A and B are shown apart, each in its own frame.
Chain A
Amino acid sequence: MTSNALPLEYKAILKWIRQGSSVLDLGCGDGELLTLLVRDRNVKAQGIEIDEQAIYQCVAKGLSVFHEDIDNGLSGYGDKNFDYVILNQSFQQVKNPDIVLKEALRVGSQVIVGFPNFAHYLARLQMFFKGKAPVTTSLPYAWHDTPNLHFLSISDFIEYCRLRKIKIVNSVFIGENRTIKIIPNLFALIGVFLVTNGEPVTRITRRN
């Protein structure tokens, strides 16, 4: 596949990740992104995925992957074990995003968070005029079969980072086939953030 055909969020993530670094992908699915990172960035890759069938696909791609629920925490990892921890499209699906992100920031020097923007203008219009739960290209599910547990907007995440003293190092906002520069909370379907702990890292004692 040529790089032109890559999803825009993958392009953004690829740009942020250093050659030869270590990456933990939380909710890695069938290993699409990790495979790309191994190929183009020669990363030391590890995935965690809850779906058994997706594990088979990861193993077929030669990836190392753990069949686990990321909500159960990352207690098996020491502090700053990875250069990057990725929460792409899985952040809004975990039970406790607060704890998962805190753990991700503990075990990774930097964390990449990608999620669908609930405040996209089409979602807003559907809510306002139809009075129905919105369905957009980044939120394609009906209310009764969605794997998403949390519905947040780009502005919500930025405010959350401020409250939790999480530093936003970089961000990319993606619309239909293009990146969004103006009023992303209205026009972007997906927000992708590169974040790190805003304050000096305090070492957390591991409990075994």
Chain B
Amino acid sequence: MSAINLVSNKIAKIKQGAHKNIEPPGRDSDSETNQGVGLVQTKYLHFALPPEEITLESCEKLGPITVAYETYGKLNDQRSNAILILHALSGDAHAAGFHKGDEKPGWWDDMIGPGRAFDTNKYFVICSNVLGGCKGTTGPSSINPNTGKKYGLDFPIASISDMVNVQKQLIDHLEIDQLLSVAGGSMGGMQALEWLTAHPERLKSAIVIATAAKHSPQQIAFHEVGRQAIMADPHWKDGHYYGGHPPAKGLAVARMIGHITYMSEISMAEKFRRRPGDEKLHKFSVGSEVEDYLYNRGNHFVKRFDANSYLYITKAIDSFDVSPGKEIYEVFKGIKAKVLILAFKSDWLYPASQSREIVKACKLAGVDTTYCEIDSTYGHDAFLLEVEEETHLVKYFLQKAFLENGVTGGYQVLQYDI
């Protein structure tokens, strides 16, 4: 082929070769990729025992603290292959594999396991429940040592920065000096930004998915409606409902609002039909499947989630600001890690424009960054569903970060096939 042809056909080649090239590296055998991490157990770390309580961003002290966490894969001898997974609002430490007797795997099982994006044959993957949560880590439904009763609203306000501080304690406990990466979507992405700016020396890379440097009034508004729904529930009783009826209706409504914001107009239209004559939910039901879906999701959620945790965690998300009083690029100047930022075209809760704002700050601060806006119709849910695209990007990105010799190591080319 002539030199000219090579160049002029460049665009055509990209389009033809695209799908073939999306195959992630390191898929050794089908049997291997079909199996996840298998049976897993949640572990617990206890620390901050009085008088060594931790001081929160609010200046209040908190202790003792329990952190629920899971690990998958093996930490290598150099302790250089650890990746911390950061969960979103309603997530937990159980990111992959199965708990004994469970039918459903962890919340990001598609991405974590042998041969998957976070390849447990290569990496040591950690995921912990956030501070203020209700899935094993200390939160408002934990026992207050001063009273012997559950905290309720006596639990101090915890921020994204406090959540990350608690995660850092876990990483210290696991004797990991530097994480290969931290990765998370939505609230997990905020934690990744916090890790990047608060502990730049502790990570080689970060994967920041479908998130914002700071919540917009629209994002706060949706959370506020959810909070109001919980607090308007007569069973809420200023947060002291433990031992009695939980504010299930309020929490279910909050969750319904959440689910609406996680989908897109297209994904809802594809998922839900109308069934005229099947208006069984209530007198004013129009018999759309979306009504049943929201009702079921809401009612399912109250069985697994604590209403007070919902209030505390949404407050932490809404008050997060990666660069209070400053331009974002100013706080990004200390970042040494490589960053991968992902957004989804149909995500209107965390629109791509918010990711592009983070990207712009990375440019101004000279951070080594890759940004991809994935074409998806799933809305905000895409970060849990667009597995193929995310797997490709995350796998090669991690491989590059893992191969690079130290944070300041020279640039290296993985493939050379022109």
Contact = CB atoms under 8 A, between A and B. Distances in A.
A32 B310 CA distance: 48
B364 interface: yes
B414 A62 contact: yes
Contacts of B59: none
Given A59-B392, A59-B393, A38 B370 contact: no
B418 A32 contact: yes
Interface in B365-391: 366, 368-375, 389
B284 interface: no
A58 B416 CA distance: 11
A44 B411 contact: yes
A66 B14 contact: no
B5 interface: yes
A56 B22 contact: yes
Nearest to B371: A66
Nearest to A47: B370
Interface stretch (A72-80, A97-105, A159-167, A194-202): A72-80
B363 interface: yes
B9 interface: yes
A60 B411 contact: no
Contact of B416 (A39, A68, A77, A116): A39
A139 to B, nearest CB: 7
Interface core residue of B3, B19, B372, B375 (most chain A CB under 10 Å): B3
Contacts of A54: 14, 18
Contacts of B338: 64
B413 A60 contact: no
A147 B360 CA distance: 27
A112 interface: no
B359 A60 contact: no
13 contacts: A32-B10, A52-B373, A56-B22, A56-B372, A56-B392, A60-B396, A61-B413, A62-B415, A66-B370, A75-B360, A147-B11, A174-B4, A176-B4
In order of increasing CB-CB distance, the 10 nearest A-B pairs are: A53-B18, A76-B363, A62-B414, A7-B3, A76-B360, A137-B4, A62-B400, A32-B418, A67-B372, A54-B14
